[in-house]
Structure 1
Amino acid sequence: MRSLSLATVFAAASGFIVIWLASFTVDAASYAEFQAYWGLFFALTGAIDGVMQETTRAVADSRETGRTSKASPWRLGAVVALVAAVVAGVGGALGMDRIMADPPAAATGLLAAGLASYTLQAVLSGVLSGLKLWGRYATLVALDSGVRLLAVVAAWALGLGGGALLWVTVIGTVSWLVVLGTDPHARERLSTPVDVDARRLTRRALSAMVATGASAALITGFPVFVQASFKDAGAAAHAVGSGEGASVTVAGIILAVTLTRAPILVPLQRFQSALIVRFVAHRATLYRALGTPLAATLALGVVGALAAWALGPWILEVAFGKEELMVPGGVLAILTFASAFTGCLVITGAATLAVERHGSYVAGWVTASVVAFAVLFTPLALVPAVCTALVAGPTAGAAVHLVALGRRPAHHPATGTMT
């Protein structure tokens, strides 16, 4: 597990370095397109991660119980890969021009190929995790990030431009071929048994994909909707707002959202399992158990907002240097505090999972995404729209979770279980 922890830290650091170096590779308008494309790709892979989760569970349960079936996660992965490629191709043909000015066709093709390859990478990740081969899984995680990091360094050093950044985004998805190709027991990985038949495996994988996709849409996919909503504003500062936000460009606001989320959301996402355990242990007093983490998250949001207001503009100036990427301290403070609302949504979501209200968990994230994205398409200017969306969306989603948690569970006398 130590190797996996190190690989996870490396992956997180690599992601920030890629985003940082990319800002020196292209102009502000192209950088906004890259950030949106990056967000789109990883939002969609977030949904595909449901395949990894179910594969992990199915392989682990088969290993523990000895139950096996003729179902294959690889066959399921191949079908999902094909569907993902088709959906990406059709969706890209219809709307990629809202994100990419040039070349939308190439961006669509790479997106489709990348998602198809990532699906099979998710299957391998699930197999390795289910078999508790943490060292090999850590290699896969580190290789995925390392390849992408090397690619962006090359793109920056050679001045390859925005098209190269599309390759940077998807190139890590070939890592599963390298890991599988160097595995002395590769054939065994391809025939690893699972505990349920193909129908149940598919149904459970699709349910997991809905859940992971709902959260990824808001957390990772938000820049896509910002770019689509304000693409016509481009890099022209005067076209996006008034007042303190008058000098904020689309590229600047997307970068600011990405950076201000990390301090709160990255630790919370890593500790979701611990939160679920806490809420399971306090089912009888769930609202009271929610109080401490919610209050701590909002307090951290206040502290972070003050720090962002005082130090944020200086950090952007030192790290990025481009005038088009600068964001005023007041805006950074609001965005940082808004990230605490998304953090609260993560916490209430963990509580709904703890009491096995999976439908309510998905409904909360879907509600949050719909409300946030709807705000972006209102007549509001760039800065007010983004700030309002990141508060209103998570608040609506958390409200759905809290209402669901307030309902009395249905008790089944025959089994003594609750749902």
Structure 2
Amino acid sequence: MTDAAPSTGPLTPPNTQSGVARVGVASALTALCGYIILYLAARDLDPALFSVFAVFWGAFGFASGAANGLLQEAAREVRQTPAAAPRPAARTRPMRIGAGVGLAAAALIAGSSPLWSEHVFAQSAMLSVLLLSAGLAGFCLHATLLGMLAGVNRWTEYSALMVTDAVIRVAVAVATFVVGWGLVGFLWATVAGAASWLMLLLASPAARAAARIRPPGSTAGYLRGTFHSITAAGASAILVMGFPVLLKATSGELGAAGGVVILAVTLTRAPLLVPLTAMQGNLIAHFVDRRDQRLRALLMPAAVVAGIGAVGVVAAGLIGPWLLQAGFGPAYRADGALLAWLTAAAVAMALLTLTGAAAVAAARHRAYSIGWVGATVGSVLLLLLPLDLETRTVVALLCGPLIGIAVHLAALART
């Protein structure tokens, strides 16, 4: 494998459609695996214990979501480098940087855990910290490899990495349900796929070739872009996957009612946000290839998200309560209005995810991070309102993202 970077000319329509189709199928399988894990956990654990599991699930989702900043920066750096460019003296090694970031993050989590672990993890606190640290270290390499595969249009390997991770996790969850391992088993299932990147490297020459690519530029410059991307992705992850942790921090003891709300939030947003998260590589490639038409490039994906979301809002209001109890048992009761509003909030979050990807592709790193941090801070403040748990949750998740969308659009509109 040489160090020559891939061409970044516009993708031909067949390549674009093929990549979206493959990643779309992979994201559907990933979402299904996530639903299976949540279903098994909810059926095996009572609502109060499920809320304990959901907090760890959310904590790892927050950590791995922040690590997706590595995916975004790797995809952008690899994608925008012309194949015919002169060979520069300075080049970066994204996989090594991903490994370093992962080890540093794991050390930070483990070292600071005495300050917060007992407050966040109600049970199995030490095991939760160890699994969170090790799982995050592996996921940093996972995310970096995904970004590099996206940068060179290796969508088959990209999809395979996603599916491998999801299948490993669901296999552990199924074994836990059958054997009766309880809460501990579902904690292991949450992070079980963290080494899937290594399995793909061992099995795929194309993945190994992508992992060896060295984009031009200094390590310091790459780290600056990565810092902004991780900051924004971390703020995104707080709202998308880490919301159970945020809800517990602003509400105290959640109990059974908290378990129902967390499950409702997770189920209503997954149909939109799981595919969009999985397609971060596709989205960044799409926006980089159309960086001279920043706002116009947003129209089609935004219309698709809005259309799917409108159907979802109606479906959640009409059949959501029945589906929730039929799937998870009579203890999980929520009315249609709550599920419809939570689905509308998921649409707002999905649109914020789209505008964020466009900002990264346009190298608007500062606006990208400010938008997501602003949305997160706004949501946290709204969660502190003196309202009941359900109303606070809807208001925070629906209104907070509007701040970030406005910041991203303003940055994209500037020439």
- The answer to whether TM tops 0.5 is yes
CA contact (8 A) 2:28 2:275 kept: no
Q: Compute the displacement of 1:216 (Å).
A: 2.3
Give the Cα separation in 2 of the matches to 1:264 and 1:190: 29
Match of 1:256 among 247, 257, 264: 264
Match of 2:39 among 11, 20, 28: 20
Q: Which residue of 1 aligns with 2:237?
A: 216
Distance 1:113 1:276, change over 3 A: same
State the shift of 1:184 in Å.
5.8
Distance 1:191 1:30, change over 3 A: same
Equivalent residue letter for 2:119: R
Q: How does 1:151-300 map to 2 (within 5 A)?
A: 151-183=172-204, 191-235=212-256, 249-266=257-274, 270=279, 272=283, 276=287
Number of aligned residues:
391
Q: CA deviation at 1:167?
A: 0.6
Q: Determine helix, strand or coil for the equivalent of 1:388.
A: helix
Q: Deviation string for 1:300-340 (max 9, x for gaps)? A: 655533322221111011111141x2211221122122223
1:11 equivalent in structure 2: 30
SS in 1 for 2:215: coil
Relative to structure 1, the CA distance from residue 189 to residue 164 in structure 2 (aligned partners, 3 Å threshold; closer, same or farther) is: same
Partner-residue secondary structure (3-state), 2:130: helix
Q: Any idea what SS the aligned residue of 1:110 has?
A: helix
Alpha-carbon shift at residue 187 of structure 1 (Å) = 7.4
Q: Is the 8 A contact 1:67 1:194 kept in 2?
A: no
Q: Secondary structure at the match of 2:194?
A: helix
Q: Identify which of 330, 335, 343 aligns with 1:336.
A: 343
1:198 & 1:345 partners in 2: Cα distance?
A: 29
Structure 1 window deviating more from structure 2 (176-185 vs 23-32): it is: 176-185
Aligned to 2:402: 395
Q: Which has the higher contact order (CA 8 A, sep 6+)?
A: 2
Residues 306 and 275 of structure 1, relative CA distance in 2, 3 Å threshold: farther
Moved more, 174-183 or 108-117: 174-183
Distance 2:22 2:286 in 1: 23
Q: Secondary structure at the match of 1:42?
A: helix
1:230–1:113: structure 2 CA closer, same or farther, 3 Å change rule? same
TM-score, normalised to structure 2, is 0.81
2:7 equivalent in structure 1 = none
* 2-structure distance, mates of 1:274, 1:132: 9
Q: How has the CA–CA distance of structure 1 residues 360 and 71 changed in structure 2, closer, same or farther, with 3 Å as cutoff?
A: closer
> How far apart are residue 31 of structure 1 and its match?
1.0
Residue in 2 that maps onto 1:120: 141
State the alpha-carbon separation in 1 of the partners of residues 274 and 168 from structure 2: 22
CA distance in 1, matches of 2:409, 2:71: 28
Of residues 294, 302, 312, the one that matches 1:304 is: 312
* Kept in 1: contact 2:302–2:354 (CA 8 A): yes
Query: Within 5 A, what are the aligned runs for 1:51-130?
Result: 51-59=70-78, 61=81, 65=85, 67=87, 69=90, 71-130=92-151
Give 2:321's match in structure 1, choosing from 294, 313, 318.
313
| Structure label with greater radius of gyration | 1
Task: Give the Cα–Cα distance (whole angstroms) in 1 for the partners of residues 77 and 301 of structure 2.
Answer: 32
CA distance in 1, matches of 2:91, 2:362: 32
TM-aligned CA deviation for residue 153 of structure 1? 0.4
Change (3 A) 1:264 1:134: closer
* TM-superposed deviation, 1:95: 1.9
Give the Cα–Cα distance (whole angstroms) in 2 for the partners of residues 384 and 225 of structure 1.
15
Q: Does 1:29 align with 2:37?
A: no
**Unpaired segments ≥5 residues, structure 1:** 236-248, 410-417
Q: CA deviation at 1:57?
A: 4.1
Q: Are the structure 2 counterparts of residues 94 and 379 from structure 1 closer, same or farther at C-alpha, using a change threshold of 3 Å?
A: farther
Instruction: Label 1:82 to 1:267 Cα distance change in 2 as closer, same or farther (>3 A).
Output: closer
**1:173 is paired with a residue of what secondary structure?**
coil
Q: What do residues 66-115 of structure 1 show as CA deviations (whole Å, max 9, x unaligned)?
A: 63645422331232112110222244332233332111111011101111
* Shift of residue 229, structure 1, vs aligned partner: 2.8
Q: TM-score, normalised by structure 1?
A: 0.81
Fraction of identical pairs, as percent: 37
Deviation digits for residues 130-175 of structure 1 (CA, Å, limit 9, x no counterpart): 4544433333222111100100000111111111111111110011
* Cα distance in 2 between the residues matched to 1:342 and 1:75: 32
How has the CA–CA distance of structure 1 residues 131 and 308 changed in structure 2, closer, same or farther, with 3 Å as cutoff?
closer
Asked if structure 1 preserves the Cα contact closer than 8 Å seen for 2:284 and 2:361, the reply is: no
Whole-angstrom CA distance in 2 between matches of 1:81 and 1:193: 19
Matched, 1:141 2:162: yes
For residues 76 and 4 of structure 1, what CA distance do their matches in structure 2 show? 25
Please identify, of 12-21 and 340-349, the stretch whose mean Cα deviation from structure 2 is larger: 340-349
Q: Give 1:335's aligned amino acid.
A: L
Q: Do the aligned partners of residues 66 and 174 (structure 1) sit closer, same or farther apart at CA in structure 2, a change above 3 Å counting?
A: farther
Shift of 1:353: 5.4
C-alpha displacement of 1:298 = 6.0
Q: The residue matched to 1:148 in structure 2 has which SS?
A: helix
Secondary structure of 1:30's aligned partner? helix
Which sits farther off after the overlay, 165-174 or 222-231? Answer: 222-231
> Which residue of structure 2 lines up, in the alignment, with residue 241 of structure 1?
none
Match of 2:52, SS? Answer: helix
Q: Distance in 1 between matches of 2:293 and 2:242?
A: 33
Q: What is the CA–CA distance in structure 2 between the aligned matches of 1:395 and 1:169, rounded to whole Å? A: 30
Separation (CA, whole Å) in 1 of partners of 2:339 and 2:397: 13
- Pick which of 330-339 and 268-277 moved more: 268-277
Gaps of 5+ in 2: 1-18
8 A Cα contact 1:279 1:351, kept in partner: no
Q: 1:175 to 1:197 in 2, by over 3 A?
A: same
